[in-house]
Structure 1
């Protein structure tokens, strides 16, 4: 009898993370359903099953629930599996990647460094298990070289920006990107964070032409990653994802500097930095590859399979774990949040979102 798995989605980025896992599940002859709450369900495809109520989830009865976010409905049936929404980066000095909130049974890690830290946390309070599997999203990223063919031979810059006001580069780079793409020498691919102010989004969207491809925030940009020759960013963790494709990165005033990228402190220096990155300086590339290995050890595109194997192992031989923290106050807060977001989701669905 086919096994059933549930994907819990509360942020737009979850679709790209979970689809490689869906592919692996389907190859095994098993079934997948999606539960979307808190964001648009428009990215769901025609062949993807959506559940809308807790009653439907209970009837579906998944053996495991996969979640890239920080929380999920604790009362859903099935093993609660954390697959993470990003690489284990200490972003802007906030080491939130290793915060244990008490909702998950199994954490699927990416490299020995984060595995060791999670196992140390599990020894302190053994109510969850840890398995080094790799990140499902990277399976799709590694395949992106052949996903969408290049349209021309010009240098292609993939630009992405976070929305946080004190670190975003999007407002500052509008004129620079417009000038560079209008020169005809460059081709840009642009995507912006879903929470980016709409006036900024519209400035970039309006630039779309033969020299600039604009990807909406609810579109999957992974197929376009492999087209890039160089990545331009700020403090969005997406910049590290490009490194696994051996694509050098240029940043404007990043909060995550290091020898693995080229960071500049003014917009006037951006174009020259991009030209330098295109030459792939040996020291830069060596440092980039070494740092990437620290973040994610696997390059075989089989991380989703390892995640499923870890779930199989957990279900076949359940580890001896303590009960999760009772967290009565946090559970009450979560239920209130879920009820509020359920109402918002109904309105969002009615608007076609």
Structure 2
């Protein structure tokens, strides 16, 4: 039988739009693709022919590689462990606790652009137990490929009006959603723009309810799995310290941020909810200086606009398996302890890799 077995791993609902482009690329190359979803992603699935499997099937599969859209990956499953990341580095936490935390679980980090590649390569040179290849982020592949008209269909309800995407992180101290709800509701009622409303999957159910009821002639609610299509369809983003900010900026689109933890010149940041209408006016008429800052930032975080990041991840994984990325040092002792914790969390004490 031609092709290899590959495993996609996710622990939260947001893993699906990251892993789907990987599944598509692997299937195009004639491989067999399996998905294992746990914790917050348990019960979810990717469309056939991807096979959804459980813990013991994942162990028995002995995949060639495991592609993870989580901070972790079970060490007792065979294959190269490849980190795809579940978001951009938006500085929600300091580097040691956030995006650049090394847990000793991965063999390969597939970075999104120079802004993440440089720090990970410095860590690679110091630690030596993983490789780093800049590939771009699979989640963004659909932003830069033919989407079969999905974004155009989502925009159709706007009836020619500008389109605003509103999103928010789940971190309570950083979330804009509760603060901006009244003014967004007022803007939707005015009908100047058409709104695409979404929230991080881990936001409270009551907040989801509050935003869902705003749907109507001037707005619709977008489920997390439709987020990439919404990003493609929208002209401007309203958010906070969510990684969706970087996803929009990667398309060179203006973003309005509410109390961003680390506001930058390429953002239009504000602190008073009442200022939102004026900030939107500015976003829809950006000056040349702002456009230049956005473009420069997009090149730093994700310069790949060919929709082929998933293919580069596969190529990098093959290079790792063939030894072309150099020999890796042994994983640190802390990794063994973390793997024991993962076994305990998953309730598995059988044999493994």
Q: Which residue of 2 aligns with 1:120?
A: 122
1:1-353 pair list within 5 angstroms: 1-40=2-41, 41-54=43-56, 56-94=57-95, 96-143=98-145, 146-149=149-152, 150-151=155-156, 152-217=159-224, 219-317=225-323, 319-327=326-334, 328-339=336-347
Deviation at 1:119, TM superposition (A): 2.2
Q: Taking structure 1 as the reference length, what is the TM-score of the superposition?
A: 0.90
Aligned-partner Cα distance in 1 for 2:110–2:163: 34
Q: How big is the shift at 1:60?
A: 2.4
1:209-264 deviation digits (Å, cap 9, x = unpaired): 121110234x3321122221110001111111001222110111111311101111
How far did 1:92 drift?
4.5
In structure 2, what is the equivalent of residue 345 of structure 1? none
User: Which has the higher mean CA deviation after the structures are superposed, 261-270 or 83-92?
Assistant: 83-92
Secondary structure at the counterpart of residue 39 of structure 1: helix
In 2, are the aligned partners of 1:144 and 1:225 still within 8 Å (CA)? no
126-135 vs 324-333, which moves further: 324-333
Task: Give 1:142 deviation, angstroms.
Answer: 2.4
Unmatched segments (≥5 aa) in structure 1? 341-353
Structure 1 residue 306: Cα displacement: 0.8
Structure 2 unmatched runs, 5+ = 349-353
TM-score (norm 2): 0.90
Q: Are 2:7 and 2:63, in contact at CA under 8 Å, matched by a contact in 1? A: yes
For 1:241 and 1:255, the matched residues in 2 are separated by: 17
CA 1:90–1:107 in 2, change beyond 3 Å: closer, same or farther? Answer: same
Q: Is the 8 A contact 1:155 1:187 kept in 2?
A: yes
- Number of aligned residue pairs: 338
Tell whether the 8 Å contact from 1:232 to 1:249 is kept in structure 2 after alignment: yes
Q: 1:311 to 1:161 in 2, by over 3 A?
A: same
Measured on the aligned residues, the alpha-carbon RMSD in Å equals: 1.8
- Does the 8 A contact of 2:82 with 2:107 survive in 1? yes
Q: Distance in 2 between matches of 1:210 and 1:101?
A: 47
Kept after mapping to 1: 8 A contact 2:252/2:298:
no
Q: Distance in 2 between matches of 1:272 and 1:144?
A: 34
CA contact (8 A) 1:231 1:242 kept: yes
* 2:233 alignment partner, SS class: coil
Q: Which 10-residue stretch deviates more, 16-25 or 330-339?
A: 330-339
- Answer whether contact 2:68 2:85 (CA < 8 A) is retained: yes
**Higher mean C-alpha displacement, 151-160 vs 193-202:** 193-202
1:88 to partner: Cα distance: 3.2
